Amino acid sequence: MSYISDDFLIPNKFGQKLYESYAKNMPIFDFHCHLDPKEIYENHKYANLTEIWLGGDHYKWRAMRINGVEERYITGDASDYEKFLAFVDTLQYAVANPLYQWAHLELKRYFNIDCLLTSETAPMVWEVANKALENFGSRDFIRKANVTHIGTTDDPTSDLRYHNLLKDDKSFGVKVFPCFRADLSFKPEAKNYLNWLSKLEGVTGLKIDNINTYMSALEQRIIYFSKHGSNLADHGFEEFTYSPCDSEKAQNIFAKCIRGEQLSREELICFKSFINCELAKLYTKYNWTMQMHVGALRNNNSVMYKRLGPDSGFDSMGDFACAVNLNRFMDELNSQDCLPKTIVYNLNSNNNDVMASLMGNFPKEGVPVRVITGAAWWFYDQKDGIVQQIKSMANLGLLGRFVGMVTDSRSFMSYTRHEYFRRVLCNWLGILVETKEIPNDEQLLAKMIKNVCYNNAKAYFCGEENECN
């Protein structure tokens, strides 16, 4: 019997019907990922399964390290086949981990490999997958998954060259748009901040020597991103802090920044608050949506950070309090009528209800879900995390307005996470029908499922005029 069967993750019959009839064939609007637009444009071909499956995947790297695998078989100089076998060995211990589910779902959907991945089947899986990859590039993964829109993650100084090339390439048919990842603009404590500031000067042609020219440069880049199809920003926070800060105080702190002086915690909080407020005002001006990723405790292993750098699998959940500061931040913007549409993702399940309750605090007439919680993120994009997130949204907000799943991934094989999410959603709704908690009304639920899987995201980002087509 196939592990990835028709009823995978959906043991109840009504949930199966909802998935097969309404969720399964919906397109994908993946508005937040970390795919490389250069790889998309060039339709990058992969040398083997390790390159596409293990390269850059810190989920798998973490599991392998927990299993005691030597680093040379993860990011080191071992052969690709040896790295693949090390992952296969780890997978046998991950049977209740979502990695186990994702791995088999990906093998099934992209390579039609239906067996369990074990040390015995590994040689066959390696051979079959590599044979398929000879004629299968990055665009083929996207097309096979029925993706219509992709939002990449791009530094404000990016020239967006490959977005430009993709826009002119009529052979592809998938809309690839940049997302303005503004983190460095409000993190002067970062080691490369001054180098980044110099690069911002270079791409804008402005001498950035005060807070006004700084914000002018950032606005110029927002306009540039808009011309390349963007209407979406992303801000990443470990601890979300907020303290009102006027332009005079921000200027004094910025002057210290560009002199390379160390800032106090109070000065950092003030500067971050000012920049985030000013950016939010610009997003409102240009009708953008702001994403806020809150709660990742990054680069915890200082030894491995020095060795491998960031995004290498040594991050974890934070437990910072955020409710007071988030509400104060949004209230300040709302009081000036400058709060943009906002999606907030949290990384600690203790904050699910906190985040979901934000939706009701700052409504705007004629704007559905001006503030909304995002999909279960990172450590929570698995069954329990997804159910917890949608339950909070259903209990405290409007689940029918949810903009749905994102891959948040660097892997072209990760589009199966949309299928995973849809199966969990349909199973959960099916259970509610069976327990008489919601109506057994197929038409009502069909509309909700189609909206959550695709239609809501398209309407949220493209508007009535389908501006991002």
d(CA 29, CA 149): 5
- Mean pLDDT rounded to a whole number for the chain: 95
**Interval 86-123: pLDDT, tens:** 999 999 999 999 999 999 999 999 999 999 999 999 99
Enter the pTM of the model. Answer: 0.96
- Tell me 46's DSSP state: P
3-class DSSP assignment, residue 115: coil
Residues with Cβ < 8 Å from 455, sequence gap 6 or more?
none
pLDDT at residue number 312: 86
- If you average pLDDT over residues 262-269, what whole number do you get? 97
pLDDT at residue number 467: 60
pLDDT at residue number 321: 86
Judged against a pLDDT cut of 80, whether residue 359 lies above it is answered with: yes
pLDDT at residue number 463: 80
d(CA 409, CA 106): 14
pLDDT at residue number 360: 93
Q: What percent of the chain has pLDDT over 70?
A: 99
pLDDT bin (cut points 50, 70, 90) of residue 2 is confident
pLDDT at residue number 244: 96
pLDDT at residue number 465: 57
pLDDT at residue number 102: 96
- Report angle CA 1, 49, 25 to the nearest 5 degrees: 55
- Give the sheet arrangement for strand 180-181, strand by strand: 180-181, 232-237, 289-294, 341-346, 371-373
pLDDT at residue number 416: 97
- If you average pLDDT over residues 130-156, what whole number do you get? 97
pLDDT at residue number 294: 95
Residue 440 has which token pair?
A: 């057994």
Query: What's the full length of the chain, in residues?
Result: 469
- If you average pLDDT over residues 437-443, what whole number do you get? 97
**Interval 208-223: pLDDT, tens:** 999 999 999 999 999 9
Judged against a pLDDT cut of 70, whether residue 1 lies above it is answered with: no
- String of b and e for 400-423 (b: at least 16 CB within 10 Å)? bbbbbbbbbbbbbbbbbbbbbbbb
- If you average pLDDT over residues 158-172, what whole number do you get? 96
pLDDT at residue number 397: 95
Judged against a pLDDT cut of 60, whether residue 466 lies above it is answered with: no
**Interval 17-43: pLDDT, tens:** 999 999 999 999 999 999 999 999 999
pLDDT bin (cut points 50, 70, 90) of residue 160 is very high
Q: What element of type H or E holds 314?
A: none
pLDDT bin (cut points 50, 70, 90) of residue 469 is low
- Give the sheet arrangement for strand 175-177, strand by strand: 28-30, 147-151, 175-177
Residue 312 has which token pair?
A: 């290498």
- If you average pLDDT over residues 296-316, what whole number do you get? 89
pLDDT bin (cut points 50, 70, 90) of residue 310 is confident
- If you average pLDDT over residues 394-416, what whole number do you get? 96
pLDDT at residue number 104: 97
Judged against a pLDDT cut of 80, whether residue 255 lies above it is answered with: yes
Residue 274 buriedness (CB in 10 A; 0-12 / 13-18 / 19+): buried
Judged against a pLDDT cut of 80, whether residue 14 lies above it is answered with: yes
Structural domains present in the chain: 45-134 (1.10.2020.10), 146-462 (3.20.20.140)
pLDDT bin (cut points 50, 70, 90) of residue 261 is very high
